[in-house]
Amino acid sequence: TEPKAGEKITSEDKIIITISKGKEQLRMENYVNKIGEVAKKELEELGFKNIILKPIESELEEGVVVRQSVDVGTIVEKEQEITLFVSNGKFKISVPNFTRLTLDEVEAWAKQYKIIVKHTYVCDDTFEEGTIISQNPGYGVNIQNKSTIEVVISGGKCESQ
């Protein structure tokens, strides 16, 4: 204010009162599916200073924001802490039982988790031709995305010699 508190004024003096709008606030944007470092830089450019990148397990690519601590559209002050939960690229997947399935079925499952499938054919008298006889790792084992699994496929009945 002008004049300052305690100063003497006359009835004709002008008084200027400054009213604070409070701390600057912004509406939170959506940073999910953005690269964590890029999102952090964008927030810093907006004036946010307390941004935390916290790694978590996710099936998303490494470094991508999976979720954020402040909901989209929420009004936030620039001093507020914002946590961006970023994928560490390590997502645990329980391996199903592939016995008696086809290679196409296994590969369809593997594709969604970016799993590599290696396969070999052997002759077999008990399993239908084209179906899985065995697998490694076995049923129920937890693996990470981008892992490799091996399956053995029946090539049909063994030929007699």
Phi, psi of 139 (to 5 degrees): -55, 130
For the cut 60, the answer to whether the pLDDT of residue 161 exceeds it is no
How much is the average pLDDT of 28-45?
A: 95
Task: Note the pLDDT of residue 1.
Answer: 62
d(CA 66, CA 53): 11
Task: Note the pLDDT of residue 10.
Answer: 79
8 Å CB contact between 107 and 130: no
C-alpha closest to that of 120 among 154, 96, 97: 154
The string of pLDDT tens digits covering residues 76-117 is 998 999 999 999 877 778 899 999 999 999 999 999 888 999
Task: Note the pLDDT of residue 52.
Answer: 96
- Look-up of token digits 């944007």: 29
At 113 the three-state DSSP class reads helix
The string of pLDDT tens digits covering residues 132-151 is 999 999 999 988 878 899 99
How much is the average pLDDT of 10-15?
A: 80
